[in-house]
Amino acid sequence: PCNVVVLISGSGSNLQALIDSLDENSPVRIRAVVSNRADAFGLQRAQAAGIDTHVVQHKGFADREAFDAALIEIIDTYQPQLVVLAGFMRILSAGFARHYQGRLLNIHPSLLPKYKGLDTHRRALDAGDQEHGCSVHFVTEELDGGPVAIQACLRIEPNESIDKLTDRVHAAEHIIYPLAVRWFAEGRLRLADQGAMLDDTLLPASGHL
Ligand code: GAR
């Protein structure tokens, strides 16, 4: 099986979707969940599923590199084939991205390359966009910049509230993230020199086939 370590900071609803997508025949094994916050609700979700949990708080480390080194040390005790960022809200160093090159996925709540960074739903609404969504991408040294593996694209409804849009994007995340992780575990999704590939097809920058 494909050993996976999941990094979280908060609610962990994407972690839950991943857990719920697994059964004994699944090629994915979530070996551990690591949070940078002790109060992340996702830790309780992991414990309820019998998954090892760890907390690594950034205070107490001299700098980002020292924090990332501590993270890597814990993650690598599980020898994961894949590391999954699921609402992990700390920027990781270039060294971290390089260490897990090709085996580090993130989910971001926008149609990348649009709206990297924070506050994506508000920015999409303020811009008057007709479409919004979420993206699963390989993590590279560039923040929210790595090759996209899959996106869900939603039509923004007239006068849609930010709460409703946020909920709908979340629901879409819970569909596409388990799918991308499964593809990776099956050896179908990989990072190649030219970008993300699904089977033998190079995915375009948008992640739409
Ligand atoms: C998700 O919407 C994810 O896309 C976003 O945080 C949320 C975590 O929710 N990630 C980022 O903004 C990364 N910059 P969850 O804890 O319920 O899975």
Determine the Cα–Cα distance for residues 61 and 148; give it in Å rounded to an integer.
32
For residue 209, pLDDT over 90 is answered with no
Rounded to 5, what percent of the chain is helix, strand, coil? 30, 25, 45
Ligand 1 first shell, C-beta below 6 A: 8, 10-14, 42, 86-87, 107-109, 134, 170, 173
DSSP 89: -
Contact 46, 15 (CB under 8 A): yes
Q: Nearest CA to 40 among 88, 92, 72, 95?
A: 88
Does residue 43 have a known ligand-binding role? no
Determine the Cα–Cα distance for residues 58 and 118; give it in Å rounded to an integer.
20
Q: Average pLDDT for residues 126-153, to the nearest whole number?
A: 96
pLDDT for the residue numbered 204: 83
Contact 41, 63 (CB under 8 A): no
Pick the residue whose CA is nearest to atom 10 on ligand 1.
87
DSSP 88: -
Pocket test for ligand 1, best of 16, 89, 132 (most atoms within 8 A of CB): 89
Contact 115, 205 (CB under 8 A): no
Share of the chain above pLDDT 70, in %: 99
Contact 118, 147 (CB under 8 A): no
Does residue 93 have a known ligand-binding role? no
Which residue among 54, 58, 99, 108 is the active-site one? 108
pLDDT band, residue 207 (cuts 50/70/90): low
Share of the chain above pLDDT 90, in %: 95
pLDDT for the residue numbered 60: 85
pLDDT for the residue numbered 208: 66
Measure 136 CA to ligand 1 centroid, in angstroms.
11
Is residue 208 flagged as an active site residue? no
Q: Which atom of ligand 1 is nearest to the CA of 12?
A: 16
Per DSSP, helices labelled H in the chain are 13-20, 41-48, 64-76, 94-99, 120-126, 162-185
The predicted-structure confidence for 162-204, as pLDDT tens digits, reads as follows 999 999 999 999 999 999 999 999 999 999 999 999 999 999 8
Give me the phi and psi of 41, to 5 degrees please.
-65, -25
Q: What angle do CA 119, 124, 6 make, to 5 degrees?
A: 45
Q: Nearest CA to 8 among 51, 30, 40?
A: 40
Pocket test for ligand 1, best of 108, 111, 168 (most atoms within 8 A of CB): 108
Pick the residue whose CA is nearest to atom 7 on ligand 1.
87
Distance separating the N- and C-terminal Cα atoms of the chain: 27
Does residue 107 have a known ligand-binding role? no
Contact 203, 136 (CB under 8 A): no
pTM over 0.90: yes
Does residue 197 have a known ligand-binding role? no
pLDDT for the residue numbered 116: 96
For residue 57, pLDDT over 70 is answered with yes
Reported ipTM: 0.99
For residue 10, pLDDT over 80 is answered with yes
Q: Nearest CA to 181 among 91, 107, 73, 113?
A: 107
Measure 33 CA to ligand 1 centroid, in angstroms.
15
The predicted-structure confidence for 11-46, as pLDDT tens digits, reads as follows 999 999 999 999 999 999 999 999 999 999 999 999
For residue 66, pLDDT over 80 is answered with yes
Pick the residue whose CA is nearest to atom 3 on ligand 1.
87
